Structure 1
Amino acid sequence: MRKVKDEENFEDRDAWLETIMDEYGERLTKLAYNYVKDWKQAEDIVQDAFITCFKHYEKIDEIKFFKSWIYRLVINQSKDVLKSSAFKRVMMNSSLFSLFTSKDPLPEMSLLKRSEEEFLSRCVLSLPVKYREVITLYYYEECSIEDIKGMLGLNRNTIKTRLNRGRAKLKNMMERWGYDGEQA
Structure 2
Amino acid sequence: MRKVKNAENSHRDAWLETIMDEYGERLTKLAYNYVKDWSMAEDIVQEVFVTCFRHYEKIDEILSFKAWIYRLAINRAKDVLKSSAFKRVVMNSSLFSLFTSKEALPEMSLVKRSEEEVLSKSVLDLPVKYREVIILYYYEECSIDEIQELLGVNGNTIKTRLNRGRGKLKEIMERWEQDGT
CA distance in 1, matches of 2:137, 2:161: 11
Instruction: State the 1:173 CA deviation.
Output: 1.0
What per-residue deviation string (whole Å, max 9, x for no partner) do you get for residues 24-77 of structure 1?
A: 000000000000000000000000000000000000000010000000000000
CA distance in 2, matches of 1:54, 1:162: 34
CA distance in 1, matches of 2:137, 2:3: 45
Q: Which residue of 1 aligns with 2:29?
A: 30
- Return the index of the structure with the highest Cα Rg: 1
Q: Which residue of 1 aligns with 2:119?
A: 120
Please give the root-mean-square deviation of Cα atoms over the aligned residues, in Å: 1.9
Q: Which residue of 2 aligns with 1:82?
A: 81
CA distance in 2, matches of 1:127, 1:23: 27
Q: Which residue of 1 aligns with 2:139?
A: 140
Indicate conservation of the 8 Å contact 2:67/2:146, yes or no.
Answer: yes
Q: Which residue of 2 aligns with 1:16?
A: 15
| 2:86 counterpart SS class | helix
Superposition pairs for residues 61-72 of structure 1, below 5 Å?
61-72=60-71
CA distance in 2, matches of 1:121, 1:176: 14
Instruction: State the 1:100 CA deviation.
Output: 4.5
Q: Which residue of 2 aligns with 1:46?
A: 45
TM value normalised by structure 2: 0.90
Indicate conservation of the 8 Å contact 2:36/2:99, yes or no.
Answer: no
Gaps of 5+ in 1: none
TM value normalised by structure 1: 0.89
CA change 1:126–1:13 in 2 (3 A) is same
Identity of aligned residues (%): 73
| 2:63 counterpart SS class | coil
Superposition pairs for residues 84-103 of structure 1, below 5 Å?
84-100=83-99
Amino acid at match of 1:170: L
